Amino acid sequence: MNTFNYERANAPEGAIHSGAVHGAKFLAGGTNLVDLMKYGVEAPTTLVDINHLDLSQITSTPDGGVRIGALVRNSDLANHSTIKTQYPLLSQALLSGASPQLRNMATTGGNLLQRTRCYYFTDVSFPACNKRMPGSGCAAIKGYNRIHAILGQTDHGSTSGESCIATHPSDMCVAMAALDARIEVQGAKGKRTIPFAEFHKLPGTTPWVETTLRPDELIVAVTLPPAKFAKNAYYLKARDRNSYAFALISVAAGLEMDGSNIRSAGIALGGVALKPWRIAEAERVLIGKPAGAESFHQSADILLRGAKGYEHNAFKIEMVKQGVVRALTLAAQGTPEGIQS
Amino acid sequence: MSVPTVDELEGAEIAREEKELEKNGLHFELSRRRFMQASTAVSAGLAAGIPGSLAAQTPESTRAITLKVNGQSKALTLDTRTSLLDALREYMDLTGTKKGCDHGQCGACTVLVDGRRVNSCLTLAFAAEGSDITTIEGLAKTTDPKEIGDLHPMQAAFLEHDGYQCGYCTPGQICSAVAAVEEQKRGELSIVSLHTGKTEHPEMSDDEIRERMSGNICRCGAYPNIVAAVRSVARGVSA
């Protein structure tokens, strides 16, 4: 690990000022950043510890939604009374990820900025990784690509093919995408809000640019609109072991029911692309229809349009197809009873 | 005639010693010495901040820190890169906390920071300054436990249920289990509580214990006995 300056920030303005210096990084939970520093993937010259900023509140918003401070820990968010009763999809996703120890450390803002778990990215002994070394290539395309992307990896505007087939590792983000979250950021020039779908970027020809966050900006909160899926939500996660493992694929499914018909839906996929995968049309086709396998299959097919498997991960296409139908079926059956109390 | 400098005198001395080593066939010792001399010269250059060298570009990284562990504050001087785990083991003689993977994947390094279980390998010591840290050494009821009754109930339960084989993961398992029982008592949920719909007062079923303890890996596979130990404490029944 390289040496670095360590400083504690007491106010967002001070943190933003210190964080804007070239080579500086914000330190929140540290579960991903400190790990990558040990591997030599990250080498900040200054760590600005933001853990003492007052960004740990969960509050109601005037429109009936909820605002989650960027430093709210994953375990606290999952167990917050409003989240578990009104946004059970988010509680389920959070509690499906990592371990209790890591969830006690990991923050809402940090989770948004998790880096990929692609082995070729994490292990610096592999010379080819366009994320680490722009222009060096992608070792995963012809390597061992079992955990890699099947969607969004091709740049349709170019003929140069894929630049990166990594996936985004977060569970929390998949639920937040389906819930239409917005991200509040603060920079030297003031605050702005980024819709969730515009926050993470697909690789395109610049896979090292992962978000639309600017270098001088700090995530201060995530807001959720009024809850629609409190009664019908299911987060399905398929993985190699039943706990403490990243998703091969995951499906966040929320349904707003009108009797036996679907009034609205939110569906996002994890483990398949460099960002949570959401297609508006896959939700639109469900509106006004009864909950049933036929329309759920249609949704799955739309989500999988343009999917491309590689040597070791083609199984993900079928897994998503079945996963979407299963998650929507379980969501339609209702969030387990106890959650409503 | 010029007076020899100290360096020249030392150089002559070293040359004599090396000739002696060579004569006695001690080639390994000879090459070790030459390597040490070469690397000393390199590090001297670094310390002097020779232009273009690494030392000129890297920030000063050693600072004073006070860590409060098991109720006692200790003032140390640490490199900012030091993990809480290394601070405990290498600088505070608290070697009960173990280093397994050092990457947040095994849980052997689990300690309690302000009562919450965390991976000390991914916690920077400086980020933990100002917090109350509890390690396996601080769990027992007395500072010098002599009998099983002096131990924390979870420590006693691991003994009673034989919750380990090699014992390396045990301090992390016990710290984690102590927090897991507290979390369950506070009504905190796991994914098992959500999937079974038991979200009001989740009970410590064996499925709940396995899920809530999944951040601690045991390569010996002592899991059945670990679950039994946690079960006995969580349900308030002794062996």
Q: Is A314 left (phi over 0), alpha (psi -120 to 50) or beta?
A: alpha
- Judging contacts by C-beta atoms under 8 Å, the chain B residues touching residue A93 are none
Q: Read off the pLDDT of residues B172-217 as tens digits, 9 standing for 90 and up.
A: 999 999 999 999 999 999 999 999 989 888 999 999 999 999 999 9
Cβ distance A101 to B214 less than 8 Å, yes or no, reads no
Q: Is the pLDDT of residue B52 over 60?
A: no
Q: How far is B180 from chain A (nearest CA, A)?
A: 8
- How far apart CA A262 and CA A278 sit, in angstroms, is 18
Q: Read off the pLDDT of residues A190-238 as tens digits, 9 standing for 90 and up.
A: 999 999 999 999 999 999 999 999 999 999 999 999 999 999 999 999 9
Q: How many CB pairs under 8 A join A and B?
A: 122
Two structure tokens written together for A90:
């988010």
Tell me, what's the pLDDT at B234?
A: 96
- Any residues with CB less than 8 A from the CB of A67 and at least 6 apart, and which? A57, A58, A59, A60, A61, A184, A221, A222, A223, A224
Burial (CB < 10 A; 0-12, 13-18, 19+), residue B91, is middle
DSSP letter assigned to residue B53: S
Cβ distance B61 to A5 less than 8 Å, yes or no, reads yes
Among residues A303, A297, A327, the alpha carbon closest in space to that of A236 is found at A327
Instruction: Identify whether the C-beta of residue A52 lies closer than 8 Å to the C-beta of residue A9.
Output: yes
- How far apart CA A6 and CA A30 sit, in angstroms, is 13
Cβ distance B79 to A336 less than 8 Å, yes or no, reads no
Strand ranges, E, within chain A: 5-8, 24-27, 46-49, 58-60, 66-69, 182-187, 190-195, 218-224, 233-238, 249-258, 261-270
Q: Which residue of A46, A104, A239 to mutate against B (max B Cβ within 10 Å)?
A: A104
Which of B102, B200, B215 faces A102 most closely, judged by CB atoms? B215
Q: Read off the pLDDT of residues A73-102 as tens digits, 9 standing for 90 and up.
A: 999 999 999 999 999 999 999 999 999 999
Which of B58, B61, B198 faces A338 most closely, judged by CB atoms? B198
Query: Which value, to the nearest 10 degrees, does the dihedral of the CA atoms of residues B202, B192, A71, A46 take?
Result: 130
Angle between helices B170-185 and B153-160 (to 10 degrees): 120
- How far apart CA A183 and CA A168 sit, in angstroms, is 17
DSSP letter assigned to residue A79: H
Angle (CA) A193 A194 A200, round 5°: 155
CB atoms within 10 A of CB A314: 15
CA atoms within 13 A on the CB side of B217: 16
Q: How far is A76 from chain B (nearest CA, A)?
A: 9
Q: B99 in contact with A at a CB cutoff of 8 Å?
A: no
Cβ distance A99 to B83 less than 8 Å, yes or no, reads no
Among residues A253, A278, A302, A239, the alpha carbon closest in space to that of A97 is found at A239
* ipTM of this complex prediction, to 2 decimal places: 0.96
Q: How far is B202 from chain A (nearest CA, A)?
A: 10
Q: Which residues pair with A268 in a beta bridge?
A: A252
- Judging contacts by C-beta atoms under 8 Å, the chain B residues touching residue A49 are 126-127
Q: Is the pLDDT of residue B83 over 90?
A: yes
Q: How far is B26 from chain A (nearest CA, A)?
A: 36
- How far apart CA A132 and CA A111 sit, in angstroms, is 20
Please state the φ and ψ torsions of residue A324, each to the nearest 5 degrees: -65, -45
pTM, to two decimals: 0.89
By DSSP bridging, strand A58-60 and strand A182-187 are: unpaired
Mean of all residue pLDDT scores within chain B = 84
Q: Is the pLDDT of residue A142 over 90?
A: yes
End-to-end CA separation in angstroms for chain A: 48
